[in-house]
Amino acid sequence: MTQKRPELSDYAAPLERYVALVPSGDFLPFLEGQAPELVGRLAPLSEEQAEYRYAPGKWTIKEVIGHLSDAERILAYRLLRIARSDQTPLASFEENAYVQSGNFIARHLADLLGEWSSVRAATLTLVGSLDDASWRRRGVASQKEISALALAFIIGGHVRHHQLILEERYLVGLRRG
């Protein structure tokens, strides 16, 4: 499924940081490849390593994975609603409150990775089911107009954003420690 890139008018400007991280071309293989890449990189970590945070007040690796599951569920839900022509404005969410309430630190890393993989599998099924008309539909989320196509790119770019942070700040820190 080759998707044209969303235009700047398809989403709020701050979301460009996620859209820009998605390569042009066949979008579905990009999304499909993220799960084995992320899980393969993090699954070998010990529970202690998965509780590493690179600075005080920053999320642990477990909390990052929990955040990825929560955020992808919310973004995919928005994608579904907009793709199905639902014009109800969709509320924003406070990611830090979700992480604080998620109690991810008490869970096993393997469980968190398995959950995120399941969430991604559901997202892939949704993305693979959409027709051209669905991709063009627009709605409102977080008080900003957004297209279904932009949401799909944001889902992939959001994960890529966190993959880069994990590599640059967390896993590098673990190698030094």
* pLDDT at res. 4: 85
* pLDDT at res. 176: 64
Those residues whose C-beta lies under 8 Å from the C-beta of residue 73, and which sit 6 or more positions away, are 119
Q: Where are the domains of the chain?
A: 7-46+65-176
Is-above-0.85 flag for pTM? yes
* pLDDT at res. 177: 56
Tally the C-alpha atoms within 13 A of residue 154's C-alpha that lie toward its C-beta.
Answer: 25
CATH fold of the domain at 7-46+65-176: Four Helix Bundle (Hemerythrin (Met), subunit A) (1.20.120)
* pLDDT at res. 174: 72
By the 10 Å C-beta count (0-12 exposed, 13-18 middle, 19+ buried), 24 is classed as: exposed
Contact (CB, 8 A) for 124 and 86: no
Q: What is the mean pLDDT of each run of 10 residues along the chain (177 residues)?
A: 81 97 88 96 96 96 98 98 97 96 98 98 97 96 97 97 95 70
